[in-house]
């Protein structure tokens, strides 16, 4: 980051966030999850960095990205394995909703965010805009 700050033409940077960060004030127990805690800390560091960085920073708030290379423990990978094996996947109530976005669409959104003219530290939500149940 320091090298980028000193570059003759400071590049625009992209930093990924998670939607869980926005829920921490409502549910502080979320910070007990190391993934959420480190993402929240990283976002705070990025915001501090932008105070003296001339290249501009984009914070991308990702929702539920899916596609090839997913972690085998993710719900869609689990469902695909179960269906491929001829078994019905077991889910919870199905009431939980997520904004699912395919990985190539998420990548296109990152590029669009980086290309957009905005404030020195802009924040964008990256999702499909539609909430859907895993069912």
Q: What is the pTM of this model?
A: 0.78
Tell me the C-alpha distance between 84 and 71, whole Å. 17
For the cut 90, the answer to whether the pLDDT of residue 7 exceeds it is: no
Task: Give the pLDDT score at 51.
Answer: 83
Confidence of residue 121 (pLDDT cuts 50, 70, 90): confident
Confidence of residue 122 (pLDDT cuts 50, 70, 90): confident
Task: Give the pLDDT score at 27.
Answer: 93
| Per-residue pLDDT tens digits for 61-112 | 988 899 988 888 888 888 889 999 999 988 888 788 889 999 999 999 999 9
Edge-first strand listing for the sheet containing 97-102 = 64-66, 97-102, 131-133
Whether residue 22 contacts residue 63, with contact meaning beta carbons closer than 8 Å, is answered with no
Q: How high is the mean pLDDT of the chain?
A: 88
The strand pairing partners of 124, in sequence order, are: 60
Task: Give the pLDDT score at 49.
Answer: 87
Closest CA to 97 of 63, 50, 59, 58: 63
């Amino acid at each position: 980051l320091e090298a980028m700050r000193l570059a003759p033409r400071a590049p625009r940077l992209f930093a990924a966030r998670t939607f869980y960060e926005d829920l921490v004030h409502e549910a502080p127990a979320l910070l007990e999850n190391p993934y959420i805690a480190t993402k929240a800390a990283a976002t705070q560091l990025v915001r501090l960095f932008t105070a003296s960085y001339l290249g501009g920073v984009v914070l991308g708030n990702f929702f539920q990205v899916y596609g090839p290379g997913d972690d085998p423990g993710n719900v869609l990978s689990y469902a695909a394995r179960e269906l491929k094996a001829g078994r019905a996947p077991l889910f919870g109530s199905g009431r939980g909703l997520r904004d699912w976005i395919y990985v190539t669409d998420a990548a296109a959104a990152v590029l669009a965010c980086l290309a957009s003219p905005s404030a020195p530290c802009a924040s964008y939500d990256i999702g499909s805009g539609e909430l859907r149940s895993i069912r």
